[in-house]
Chain A
Amino acid sequence: DAGVIQSPRHEVTEMGQEVTLRCKPISGHDYLFWYRQTMMRGLELLIYFNNNVPIDDSGMPEDRFSAKMPNASFSTLKIQPSEPRDSAVYFCASMRTPNTEAFFGQGTRLTVV
């Protein structure tokens, strides 16, 4: 398996623009997580899905953030409008069952200028 695949690897955008991050989980994994990593706050869980259904989105910073999982092999995290404080590395991870480990993608480094 190719592992968790995220795109793009790097994104530079201007404040106010819409940004869409993409994730393809490992096939057969029922859980998908979106994390954000910053120097100040470390690794934070934003939202996670089970069988394509959002289960906990309490970590989503505000209404500018939204996430979808239209099918078992694809998820998006959208920021609209983007702000400089959204600059971070965004990780997607997938997990087969609750008693197994999560595997992470390589991350998307987002810079909002």
Chain B
Amino acid sequence: AQKVTQAQTEISVVEKEDVTLDCVYETRDTTYYLFWYKQPPSGELVFLIRRNSFDEQNEISGRYSWNFQKSTSSFNFTITASQVVDSAVYFCALRGNNAGNMLTFGGGTRLMVKP
């Protein structure tokens, strides 16, 4: 069985603050993939990043960065200098190689960035 936990259901910050969204996962698979998706108020699910279990290198893309740590089964997402347009629900997801290609989502974190 695989599970994704996003303990923060809602976070509120003021524009230009940095914010980190936590994601903790559980899987018995040795090969797996982790993802982050963004769901803005318009409702679509937008892919942000994919990471495989063999690549623990952190990644930075503009104001976004991701910290993958197998030792703590975490895949955290940081937004630097947040902007109002970052307001959305962010989902962390996991797919294990032996999980039948099923993508398991966390419950999501609602981020509100206030001007």
Contact = CB atoms under 8 A, between A and B. Distances in A.
Q: Which of A89, A95, A101 has the most CB of B within 10 A?
A: A101
Q: How large is the interface on B (under 10, 10 to 19, 20 to 34, 35 or more residues)?
A: 20 to 34
A106 B103 CA distance: 18
5 contacts: A56-B100, A56-B102, A101-B50, A102-B35, A104-B44
A55 B99 CA distance: 12
Interface of A: 31, 33, 42-43, 45, 48, 50, 55-56, 89, 91, 93, 95, 98-107, 109
Given A43-B105, A56-B100, 18 more contacts: A31-B101, A42-B105, A42-B106, A43-B91, A45-B103, A50-B101, A55-B100, A56-B102, A98-B101, A99-B52, A102-B35, A102-B47, A104-B44, A104-B46, A104-B47, A105-B44, A107-B43, A107-B44
Contacts of B12: none
Interface in B42-59: 43-47, 50, 52
B103 A99 contact: no
Contacts of A50: 101
B75 to A, nearest CB: 14
Contact of B107 (A42, A89, A101): A42
A101 B102 contact: no
Contact of B35 (A48, A101, A105): A101
A91 B45 contact: yes
Nearest to A100: B50
Nearest to A104: B45
B43 A103 contact: no
Nearest to B33: A99
Contacts of A107: 43-45
B102 A48 contact: yes
Contact of B108 (A42, A45, A89, A101): A42
B8 interface: no
A93 B97 CA distance: 18
B88 to A, nearest CB: 14
B17 to A, nearest CB: 27
